[in-house]
Structure 1
Amino acid sequence: MTTGTTVGDSAAADRIRRAAIEAFAESGYAGSSTRQITKRLNMSATAMYPHFRSKEELLYAIALDGHRAVLAALRDADDPESPVLDRLTSVVSAFATWQAEFHQLARVVQYELAALTPVHYRTITAIRRDTVAVLTSIVQAGKDCGEFSVDDVDDVVLAISSLCVDVCRWFPSKIHDDPQPLGAAYGRIAQRLVR
């Protein structure tokens, strides 16, 4: 998946990112060494450094890619000309589908952010705010036009976001192993949360 990160854009850097995603998803950021990551690629531990100055920079590149990709997925799914309930359904479906389809990447970008430097963390949280803003604008529009019955827009957005983000923690399961039907189900759940 290419999402235009500004760090480590070569093919070798992409291979290292993919190996790191697997390692971080399996063992966490703290539990994965650069040696373990590069060993997955039959490379020496020092092979990473021409592409990423540190393990933290590698995590940042992964987080940047992941957050940009999920924001793009939500924006692509939103058609401001559509009825507000259709917009919400489409965006929530895309959100949950993305979390399932890229569950290893999503697990890393959702649960390993505490390891980022303050500067990198601020960059990522700005993208997260933009992602939440997509949902907030839809729920607020539905409340304003009287189609959605919600007491607090922020609470509803938090509930929907939490439901979608949590998908990466457990997907796949015995019940759900296809991202598309899962996304559609979450879209229907979101409808019930606002009506």
Structure 2
Amino acid sequence: MSQSPAPPRRRRGNARGEQTRSVLLAAAVRSFADRGFHGTSTRDIALAAEMSPAVMYAHYATKEELLFELSIDGHRSVQALLETEVRRHTTTTDRLRAAAACFGQWHAEFHLQARVVQYELDALSEEHLAEVTVLRRAIQGRFGELIRNGVDEGSFQVADVEMTAMSLTSLGIDVARWYRSTGKWTPEQIGRHHGRLALRAVGVAG
């Protein structure tokens, strides 16, 4: 199925170049999701974008560069969304619920991109993987911070803060693996469910 990647968190060049890159990124998402990174050629992506390989190479020298841009933009998008939702609330309980809800919902709404960037990490170059890993650790660390705040104030009962944070982010990430737009639940329903699960994980009735 067709799905555009999450809105990019960085801009490069003129409007025409940005439009071309957006088309290529959307084609890469579809191609990587259908065939996997290693099963997709640059020609496959160019054909999916209805462009010549020469046009693609003018913007991306390799398919790994496309994967990296999808990965970095996806992680930056979900991190920005996470911070926005956390800032909308004042209590630790509401903040954790909102964080888990938006994280799960994002992985459903952008499930093709999420599936690619979460499960094709090994295809990134060492340098690119290191850059993406910084963002992944920051996202998990934000969950850990929210949980730790609740524990410190006595609102949450958690034996291991780090493990709980990892469990909650892993739960959200896994949505991209099983979610289908033709399925039973909407991204919003999934998000609300994940918010309730997060509270139960820290000993609060959701």
Cα distance between partner residues in 1 of 2:144 and 2:35: 33
**Contact preservation (8 Å) 1:99, 1:168:** yes
**Contact preservation (8 Å) 1:5, 1:61:** no
Aligned to 2:197: 189
Deviation at 1:26, TM superposition (A): 1.3
**Contact preservation (8 Å) 1:7, 1:52:** no
Structure 1 range deviating more: 166-175 or 108-117: 166-175
Deviation at 1:41, TM superposition (A): 2.3
Aligned to 1:142: 150
Match among 2, 13, 34 for residue 7 of structure 2 = 2
Q: 1:81 to 1:164 in 2, by over 3 A?
A: closer
Match among 80, 83, 89 for residue 97 of structure 2 = 89
Q: After the TM superposition, list the runs of 4 or more consecutive aligned residues in structure 1 that deviate by more than 6 angstroms.
A: none
Aligned to 1:30: 38
Cα distance between partner residues in 1 of 2:86 and 2:77: 14
Q: For structure 1, list consecutive stretches of 5 or more residues without a partner in the other structure.
A: none
**Contact preservation (8 Å) 2:12, 2:18:** no
User: SS of the counterpart of 1:29?
Assistant: coil
Match among 77, 82, 98 for residue 85 of structure 2 = 77
- Count of residue pairs brought into register by the alignment: 194
Cα distance between partner residues in 2 of 1:6 and 1:129: 24
| Counterpart amino acid of residue 133 in structure 2 | T
Cα distance between partner residues in 2 of 1:152 and 1:80: 27
User: SS of the counterpart of 2:58?
Assistant: coil
**Contact preservation (8 Å) 1:7, 1:61:** no
Structure 1 range deviating more: 184-193 or 76-85: 76-85
Q: 1:64 to 1:7 in 2, by over 3 A?
A: farther
Identity of aligned residues (%): 37
Using structure 2 for the length normalisation, give the TM-score: 0.89
User: SS of the counterpart of 1:39?
Assistant: helix
Match among 171, 177, 201 for residue 169 of structure 1 = 177
- Give the superposed CA RMSD: 1.6
**Contact preservation (8 Å) 1:24, 1:108:** yes
Using structure 1 for the length normalisation, give the TM-score: 0.94
Cα distance between partner residues in 2 of 1:45 and 1:61: 18
